[in-house]
Amino acid sequence: MSDLTASVLETKNGFHVDGYEKISYDFTFLDGVFDIKNRQLAECYQKWGRVLAVTDMNVFNMYGEQIERYFEHYNLNLKVHKTKIGEKAKTIPTFLSIVDSMTEFGIYRKEPVLVVGGGLVTDVAGFACAAYRRNTNFIRVPTTVIGLIDASVSIKVAVNYGNYKNRLGAYHAPMHTFLDFTFLRTLPVAQIRNGFAELIKISSCSHLPTFDLLDRYCEQIIDTAFGRLDGASDEVRAAADKINREGIHEMLKLETPNLHEIGLDRVIAYGHTWSPMHELVPETPLRHGHAISIDMAYSATLANNRGLLSDDEHHRLLNLFSRAGLSMDHPQFDEEILDKGTAAILKTRDGKLRAAVPNPLGSCTFLNDVSAEELTAALRRHKELMKDYPRNGEGLEAFVDASDTGYTENNQKEVDALEAAAAKAGSLNGSMNGNGVVHGGKIVNGHFGGMNGHANGVNGHVNGIAEKLAKGSVEGLTNGVNGFTNGAKA
């Protein structure tokens, strides 16, 4: 929620305006947000008597009945926009499908849309709310580790455009975010591991006590879904809760003075200098957590080369990535990708590298004076170091699979609907390379993407489907229009 105050001064040749916007929003830790005994979420909608919810198919299949019972209990009429979202389907057509549902629902400007899902769902739906009448409220209920730990902290909302991550977006704060870690009970272990990387990120650069806890309880936290699975010990549950609360608190303290990213030296950008290339370059995309882990591990080697990170700290950090099953390298990370990633991030960061690195562990330094030769030398050494780690530094279940995507078996109706929407909206700036590439309103050679989908009871594996889709063997993208489906991320 925002309040704006401003002053207008007359100048010799016109006027000068100073405007200050107050941004205020809340976080509530609440296990069982859709448990009937917990009325906190329902109270946010009593004024309106109804709810428009945006979620993905996997989450709805897992929790839809519970969500419906919850709002029925509180006499709130519920309409659900169900979509399927993946990283390469985080697109304008998906955004338009949500906008269509908001129009059909007749959403009022101050009426909050309920967004339930992981970081990709909250990104796209949040952007739809930011754009709809220029400012429509929303409430977030994240359902994945990345959604709970990382995406929930930021007010950034966006879609990808072409081959560029988050190229179109806005800064739009939710009214409220409910943090319910019981959703992790149904998340595949691969997705728990995926989100674990975000906690390594913030703790290794800003909060050593949290890093110490991660280092001590690494395997237990991943295996027990942050202490939420049956049989988890009280000790692990308490450690996980402490890690989550302190990790989120630390990120909020770092982010809230710079919500609109006016300052470009950002501690939480550790692992995000070269990682966008790792996510989008492979034909089968890397999961976000693995992409940033490769970036963090390489950056740590760069820092160690400079004497900013001691040998012991360097080894400790790399060993934690390895124990967690997170990637520290992959075959396509070569000098060409390093050069391309560097060139791309210089544009994003106003001509400076601003590479965040731990110095020492638990603190952060930003590197700008790094030559191409130094970057290349660090990469070569990093590749040599990886030979001493399991799988040569490659992670476990590092690439997106069916738990990330969730394709429909027969998507022709959605393809037809998407083509119609694209034609109605125009050419969408001529082309949208990536997923179901749009050329003048036509869809060709659909690709997939995605992150953090709930497994819907199958633990996230459908052999061969992700690879076939990544190679374009299935025509067309299931990209949601008017509430239909689209890619996948819980």
Cα-to-chain-centroid distance, residue 113: 19
Residue whose C-alpha is closest to residue 473's, from 418, 421, 398, 407: 407
Report residue 216 as tokens. 């001590």
C-alpha 442/C-alpha 422 separation (Å) is 8
Residues 433 and 163: beta-carbon distance below 8 Å: yes
**Residue 109: count of CB within 10 angstroms of its CB:** 10
Is 452 in contact with 147 (CB distance < 8 Å)? yes
3-state SS, one letter per residue, for 190-203: HHHHHHHHHHHHHH
- Distances from the Cα of 161 to the Cαs of 102, 432, 441, in angstroms? 22, 6, 15
CA-nearest of 27, 75, 34, 32 to 51 is: 75
Q: What pLDDT shows up at residue 406?
A: 41
Specify the pLDDT at position 455: 43
Please give the pLDDT value at position 403: 62
Cα–Cα distance, 380 to 298 (Å, whole number): 10
Q: Are 175 and 137 in contact (CB under 8 A)?
A: yes
Q: Identify residue 364 by its one-letter amino acid code.
A: C
CB 407 within 8 A of CB 84: yes
Q: 3-state DSSP call for residue 225?
A: coil
Q: pLDDT value at position 324?
A: 98
> Which letter does DSSP use for residue 151 in this model?
I
pLDDT digits (tens), the chain, 490 positions: 456 688 999 999 999 999 888 889 999 999 999 999 999 999 999 999 999 999 998 899 999 999 999 999 999 999 999 987 676 678 899 999 999 999 999 999 899 999 999 888 999 999 999 999 999 999 999 999 999 998 888 899 999 888 778 899 999 999 999 999 999 999 999 999 999 999 999 999 999 999 999 999 999 999 999 999 999 999 999 999 999 999 999 999 988 888 888 888 889 899 999 998 888 777 788 899 999 999 999 999 999 999 999 999 999 999 999 999 999 999 989 999 999 999 989 988 989 999 999 999 999 999 999 999 999 999 999 999 999 999 999 999 999 876 665 433 333 344 344 445 444 444 333 333 333 333 333 333 333 333 334 544 333 333 333 333 333 333 333 333 333 333 333 3
